[in-house]
Structure 1
Amino acid sequence: MKPTLLILAAGMASRYGSMKQVDGFGPNGETIIDYSIYDAIKAGFGKISFIIREEFAEAFKAKFEPKLAGRVETDYVFQSYDLKPFGITEEIERAKPWGTAHAVLAARNQVNEPFCVINADDFYGYDAFEKMAKFLTTEVSDDTYSLIGYQVDRTLSDYGSVSRGVCQVEDGNMVAINERLKVYFKEDGSVAYEEDGQEFPLDPLTRVSMNFWGFTPAVFKQSEPMFKAFVEAKKADPKAEFFIPLVADGLIKTGEAAFKVIPTDAKWFGVTYKEDKPIVQKSISALVDSGVYPSNLWE
């Protein structure tokens, strides 16, 4: 059974058409999401599932169906504010949905095969998709999940600090993930992070999570009770979000699942600052020039 690629895109639709996620970065206006889908198809994924808000379904279909028809199966998962399907009857006022792990839970009735979760607006590189596809077809089990671990120095911006989930790895498995809110290059090219006004060095080869995870559908049952407990604890905080690393941390602590850290030396690109855009365009242009991608992805 071919694995499914689940793309976290519910956050991108609110200002559809004027956002970095649907901005053109390739030579023919290809978006970053186009490159992820292209790499996933090449790596052997059998279905692309977009997690979106329902009111943007038609706009998404109009954008992606013409390109993907005949190439790969597509599906749409709707992330909503309605908590009744989780047995939560209390009305809770929210300005935004409940975060990435809640988005994954939204797919629980539509995904029945091993799957990978990625962000819509991150450029991950083919190596990551190839390694994840191999893991999902040969190694994954209900108690063995994975994430792609990027070298921190291959994920930073030259234009300011970024937040990164820094992985603590033992025997190839993640034992903890620590959110570092200010990670940056120093003037001498070394990497550091700041916490409580203090600066700490960070080995440039340290593995970080860029939200590229591999699961079986068992994670839905494992994470649903965690989500209910989270909602109960955080219902008064309209900004609280239920993130995938919270689920990973919970499963590691209870021993329900291990998370293999699959290393990649691929360069991750993202547009954190507006100054990053020309760099991403240049990087993609170089990949096209060297033959990694065709100049027109979907011709």
Structure 2
Amino acid sequence: MGETTLVIMAAGIGSRFGGGIKQLEPVGPSGEIIMDYSIYDAIEAGFNKVVFIIRKDLEKDFKEVIGNRMEKVIKVEYAFQEIDDLPAGINVSTKRTKPWGTGQAILSCKNLISGPFVVINADDYYGKEAFVKIHNYLQSVKNMDDKYNYCMAGFILGNTLSENGAVTRGVCSVDSDFYLRDVEETSGIEKIGDKAVVSLADGKTKEIDKNSYVSMNMWGFLPSIMNELETGFIEFLKNLGDVDEKKEYLLPTIIDNLIKENKAKVKLLESNDRWFGVTYKEDKDVVVSSFKQLIAQGKYPEKLF
């Protein structure tokens, strides 16, 4: 079997929580962090390499907390996402302080990817089902002529809400064969009672069906995506102007464009697992008790590795 890679986007860790790197805090009974569980599930599903996308300044801490341990169980490589890592010949004068978003993150590991790969966020727990479905799907399409055949894990909105505040989710619409039509980034989704509700600009609220599929930034790709990301990034930078210091080159938007241009087909693979992550500091307790529960159910051993 060829190389199949788990790509973990971790360049943004720490930035949303000030000094302490919340995403690297233990949540499992033997000191595991959320990433440990993702890597465990990915290995179990058949992925045999992990690429961590991090910032250069986090390298030492990151290796101490997780990287060095992981090298004992799976092949590990690092890609560095930096603001000034731009395509040849492109110069951008900007006051921005952080890199260019998830599209640039994936592009930073272009030279480390030789086969199918799955992309996830560092601080999200996705469950076992999605890794298995994505791995199997990527194995089935990797020899097809249709090189832009990708996939994503579709989570049920109700399984992804936080008790502690509003979240942003990519709400998906699909055709009858479960191919993605579009992903609509929707911010401010709150859990109110047993409903999912969005506050609108005019002060009113709108309910979203809790059974809608949402994207949690878990994508299955073939290496062909890299060329599209590269040409897209050049376009993005050329059209940036001086207007928006914070504008990001984001995967959902990129995928959306590829679908609309008929360049890519993206299969939505349904996962019924409950997602959880540390969006708010208060979420940590929920995450800790969720892992306790999963261990009690026999889904994970007390000590992962």
TM-score, structure 1 length as denominator?
A: 0.94
Task: State the alpha-carbon separation in 2 of the partners of residues 84 and 271 from structure 1.
Answer: 30
Task: State the alpha-carbon separation in 2 of the partners of residues 155 and 90 from structure 1.
Answer: 37
Residues 247-298 of structure 1: CA distance to partner in whole angstroms, max 9, x if unpaired?
Answer: 1011011111011111000000012222221111111001111111111111
- Identify which of 159, 165, 175 aligns with 2:170: 165
Contact 2:125–2:275 (CA under 8 A) maintained in structure 1? yes
Instruction: Provide structure 2 residue ranges, at least 5 long, that are not aligned to the other structure.
Output: none
In the other structure, the counterpart of 1:232 is 238
Contact 1:13–1:52 (CA under 8 A) maintained in structure 2? no
1:264 matched to 2:271? The reply is: yes
In the other structure, the counterpart of 1:73 is 75
Code of the aligned partner of 1:2: E
Offset of residue 65 of structure 1? 4.1
Query: Aligned runs of 1:174-189 on 2, under 5 Å?
Result: 174-187=180-193, 189=194
- Identify which of 133, 156, 163 aligns with 2:161: 156
Task: State the alpha-carbon separation in 1 of the partners of residues 228 and 130 from structure 2.
Answer: 25
Residues 46-94 of structure 1: CA distance to partner in whole angstroms, max 9, x if unpaired?
Answer: 1000001123223322333442234210000011122443431344332
Code of the aligned partner of 2:158: D
1:294 matched to 2:295? The reply is: no
In the other structure, the counterpart of 1:114 is 116
- Identify which of 248, 271, 286 aligns with 1:279: 286
In the other structure, the counterpart of 2:91 is 89
Task: State the alpha-carbon separation in 2 of the partners of residues 113 and 23 from structure 1.
Answer: 31
Contact 1:83–1:89 (CA under 8 A) maintained in structure 2? no
1:192 matched to 2:193? The reply is: no
Offset of residue 182 of structure 1? 1.4
Task: State the alpha-carbon separation in 1 of the partners of residues 85 and 220 from structure 2.
Answer: 25
**More off after superposition, 64-73 vs 95-104:** 64-73
Task: State the alpha-carbon separation in 2 of the partners of residues 186 and 58 from structure 1.
Answer: 41
1:202 matched to 2:208? The reply is: yes
| Change over 3 Å in CA distance of 1:63–1:276 after alignment to 2 | closer
Code of the aligned partner of 2:173: Q
Aligned-pair identity in percent equals 39
Structure 1 counterpart SS, 2:110: coil
**More off after superposition, 6-15 vs 37-46:** 6-15
Task: State the alpha-carbon separation in 1 of the partners of residues 219 and 122 from structure 2.
Answer: 13
In the other structure, the counterpart of 2:40 is 38
Code of the aligned partner of 1:203: D
Task: State the alpha-carbon separation in 1 of the partners of residues 14 and 51 from structure 2.
Answer: 15
Contact 1:2–1:44 (CA under 8 A) maintained in structure 2? no
Contact 2:148–2:225 (CA under 8 A) maintained in structure 1? no
Instruction: Provide structure 1 residue ranges, at least 5 long, that are not aligned to the other structure.
Output: none
| Change over 3 Å in CA distance of 1:273–1:122 after alignment to 2 | same
Offset of residue 135 of structure 1? 1.2
Give the aligned length. 297
Task: State the alpha-carbon separation in 2 of the partners of residues 20 and 185 from structure 1.
Answer: 23
1:254 matched to 2:291? The reply is: no
- Identify which of 199, 223, 227 aligns with 1:221: 227
TM-score, structure 2 length as denominator?
A: 0.92
- Identify which of 111, 131, 134 aligns with 1:132: 134
Code of the aligned partner of 1:268: W
Contact 1:132–1:214 (CA under 8 A) maintained in structure 2? yes
Structure 1 counterpart SS, 2:206: strand
**More off after superposition, 129-138 vs 58-67:** 58-67
Structure 1 counterpart SS, 2:111: coil
| Change over 3 Å in CA distance of 1:280–1:185 after alignment to 2 | same
Contact 1:38–1:297 (CA under 8 A) maintained in structure 2? yes
1:9 matched to 2:10? The reply is: yes
Task: State the alpha-carbon separation in 1 of the partners of residues 93 and 282 from structure 2.
Answer: 41
